[in-house]
Amino acid sequence: EPEVTQTPSHQVTQMGQEVILRCVPISNHLYFYWYRQILGQKVEFLVSFYNNEISEKSEIFDDQFSVERPDGSNFTLKIRSTKLEDSAMYFCASKSLDGPYEQYFGPGTRLTVT
Amino acid sequence: AQSVTQLDSHVSVSEGTPVLLRCNYSSSYSPSLFWYVQHPNKGLQLLLKYTSAATLVKGINGFEAEFKKSETSFHLTKPSAHMSDAAEYFCVVSGTPNFGNEKLTFGTGTRLTIIP
């Protein structure tokens, strides 16, 4: 069964450093998402992406964040200058244009900012 | 606007007894509703979904949920709990049914513990 994959599974970085989290969505999906889950809190929407542009973003997704689909398979989330409060599990999800309409989630990347 | 309230942060049941995880929703549109499960150190797995078809929805691993519009509820049930059901469960609402690039809004989660 096709699945969403994410790399790395765990990333440790120092405050102020740039990080790129990578996702490979399911191959025929056209809608892409990033969510995050701070330890002990609920999953929060960050951004949605379709047709090579952002469709919607939350207030969390400020100028420090960006997303990109650099080629036909990868979908990336970049944090330009990480803060301690960016430490969280980051989930990528994708959805088909034609159905089924649920979002399929990857296993997540745990980002630890020290 | 849309929101989800999971009424219990933690539920404990004995193995073999029924499970009930409660969820109430609020949505400006006719909602799509989902239950996702997260096992320790794992990703989010879809258990079941409601998208304006049958109000009683059956999912994987024997779980089911009933959409009750009058009560704005979407409670998750299972007749007989198994040790492997121990996990965090999220009730999730989507604002527009099936179409477009809609975001998911998650509840705060219910941790299900199974007592041997």
Of A101, B87, B30, nearest to B76 (Cα)?
B87
Query: Under an 8 A CB cutoff, do A56 and B98 touch?
Result: no
List the single best residue of B6, B30, B46, B104 to mutate versus A (max A Cβ within 10 A).
Answer: B104
> Is A100's pLDDT higher than 80?
no
List the single residue in B with minimal CA-CA distance to A36: B106
Which of chain A's residues have a Cβ under 8 Å away from the Cβ of B105?
Answer: 45
CA A107 to chain B, closest CA, distance in angstroms equals: 4
**B111 DSSP 8-state letter:** E
Which amino acid, B46? L
Q: Please determine, for residue A102, whether its predicted confidence score (pLDDT) is greater than 90.
A: no
Minimal-distance CA residue of chain A relative to B103: A45
pLDDT digits (tens, 9 = 90+) for B28-66: 777 889 999 998 877 899 999 988 778 899 999 999 999
Model confidence at B101, pLDDT cuts 50, 70, 90, reads low
Residue B31 vs residues A73, A111, B26, B92: alpha-carbon distances, Å: 31, 32, 8, 10
Q: Which residue has the higher pLDDT, B58 or B102?
A: B58
* Residue range A58-85, pLDDT digits in tens: 999 999 999 999 887 899 999 999 999 9
The CA distance from A90 to A19, in Å, is: 12
Tell me the count of A-B CB pairs closer than 8 A: 50
